[in-house]
Structure 1
């Protein structure tokens, strides 16, 4: 995609990807961005981000996706990226009880630092390891409901299961939310939402993919 095409969009949304270290956040993002799965990924240091454009109902939607480190020592750094997020993808590993139990901590951070109208989606990654599952779909769905998330989606970066579906689900709901014709551009901008004529310059040094 050339620069001119990259600058031509109708919506720009910031999405943060959060969850414990090792649940596969970077693999999920890499699979969505490039269609590639790399089994051995180094841990994210602080935050990385990438951009991807998609077409939703004839609208060009640019997603700015921030992959946050799950380690406790980066928590103060990553929390600063919550504030202007339009959407949140919270991931856990269906084979890891601790990553599921720690969802409470991540939800508390979202409630504390994200805008109240940020949309949330819960994903249970590594669903290809069905024989090692320790968290049931029912348990995760209940958590998503209690969290007032849009949905619970089980994914596998390895098998490319529901990766596009998860991101597109969140993006589609964001488009619906911000397509209210009664809102003026100024109102949208105040909610962290950008139109095509509100250009954002992002340093290429920060792009992870």
Structure 2
């Protein structure tokens, strides 16, 4: 019989960030993955919101700390560095019914790469795939952009819960594989909260205090 683990016990803690234009469904992707909830009346996030979810990957307990925010307001631009700090994975989200949100993906990707480790795992997400009659961004366009930028790619529907679990789990699994490989190469399995890169450790535990400083936000 497996030993009981307390709620706060985990082998790895990975920080993920959700990025993309306002209104693409980032908050509903977060709530669908972490609480299996969807809110049709969801409003744009103001400030910073985060949630956690624990899952098992290769018999290891992986805790995901997922951050969601809105940078549309000049007021919140000041927290950009704090938001990205320590992130080892990202979901870059656009709305398949609004081509402008797809066009802006390049800008979001540049900002992400300017503020994070070059080895961060990124998945491009085409959300709202349930609105098939309103599709403005063909699947092949999303795939092409992802291939060009070396990103993973999925189309999701937070409303119908299509591919949401798969998208988050795939990102976390890829991060875990990077960490596991490097831990083996280093001959050290003790580091459970970071993706080592270029001789440095990225500690995601430190960022909980940042949330307390900036506060959280609405749905």
- The answer to whether the superposition gives a TM-score over 0.5 is yes
Runs of 4+ in 1 over 6 A off after TM superposition: none
Match among 128, 131, 139 for residue 129 of structure 1: 131
- Normalised TM-score (structure 1): 0.87
Query: Which sections of structure 1, spanning at least 5 residues, go unmatched?
Result: none
Q: Let me know the Cα RMSD of the aligned residues.
A: 2.3
Are 1:192 and 2:202 counterparts? yes
Q: In the alignment, which residue of structure 2 is the partner of 1:146?
A: 148
Contact preservation (8 Å) 2:22, 2:72: yes
CA separation in 1, counterparts of 2:135 and 2:78? Answer: 31
Superposition pairs of residues 59-70 of structure 1, within 5 angstroms: 59-70=60-71
Q: In the alignment, which residue of structure 2 is the partner of 1:178?
A: 179
- Normalised TM-score (structure 2): 0.83
Q: In the alignment, which residue of structure 1 is the partner of 2:52?
A: 51
Contact preservation (8 Å) 2:48, 2:216: no
CA separation in 2, counterparts of 1:30 and 1:182? Answer: 36
Match among 110, 113, 127 for residue 111 of structure 1: 113
Contact preservation (8 Å) 1:107, 1:147: no
CA separation in 2, counterparts of 1:39 and 1:52? Answer: 22
Structure 1 pair 6–75 and aligned structure 2 pair: CA distance change class (3 A): same
Q: In the alignment, which residue of structure 2 is the partner of 1:97?
A: 99
| 1:176-200 CA distance string (max 9 Å, x none) | 1100212334685633257xxxx76
Contact preservation (8 Å) 2:55, 2:62: yes
Structure 1 pair 188–34 and aligned structure 2 pair: CA distance change class (3 A): closer
| 1:102-154 CA distance string (max 9 Å, x none) | 011101101211111111000000000011001011101111112211x2100
Contact preservation (8 Å) 1:127, 1:154: yes
Q: In the alignment, which residue of structure 2 is the partner of 1:31?
A: 32
Contact preservation (8 Å) 1:83, 1:114: yes
CA separation in 1, counterparts of 2:176 and 2:86? Answer: 16
Query: Which sections of structure 2, spanning at least 5 residues, go unmatched?
Result: none
